[in-house]
Amino acid sequence: MPAPVREFMFHDARKWRIDFAWTDVKLAVEIEGGAWANGRHTRGKGFIADMEKYNALAEYGWRLLRYVPNSKDKRNINYAQIARLYIKLKRLLIER
């Protein structure tokens, strides 16, 4: 599995970025910071902006996985799940 592109801009008009992107299979991973500290992603305006971004991702054909780190070592990020989905998406592309 290749390394992801960090801060990938997927939408030119809105300048939205994906935290980690595997562009060859359109797999996006977002790390939702501030979930435990009333951060931007959990308050009204930020939450709604994220929904717009995630819906645009779907419209452009992307798959999105979202994680919330609970500590500095990012234990809540399921790397095995990311790898499984990457492999599935890659197989689907090959079968076409």
Hey, CA dihedral for 60, 89, 8, 81, is it positive or negative? Answer: positive
Q: Provide mean pLDDT across the span 63-70.
A: 87
pTM listed for this prediction = 0.83
Tens digit of each residue's pLDDT (9 = 90 or more) over 37-49: 665 555 668 789 8
What does DSSP say about strands 63-67 and 27-31: parallel, antiparallel, or unpaired? parallel
Q: Which amino acid is at 65?
A: L
5-95, what's its fold? Endonuclease; Chain A (3.40.960)
State both tokens at 90: 């890659």
Q: Is the pLDDT of residue 23 over 60?
A: yes
Distance CA 68, CA 35 (A): 7
The domain limits of the chain are 5-95
Following DSSP, what letter does each residue of 4-44 receive, concatenated?
A: PEEEEEEETTTTEEEEEEETTTTEEEEE-TTTTTT-GGGSH
Q: Mean pLDDT, the chain, as a whole number? A: 87
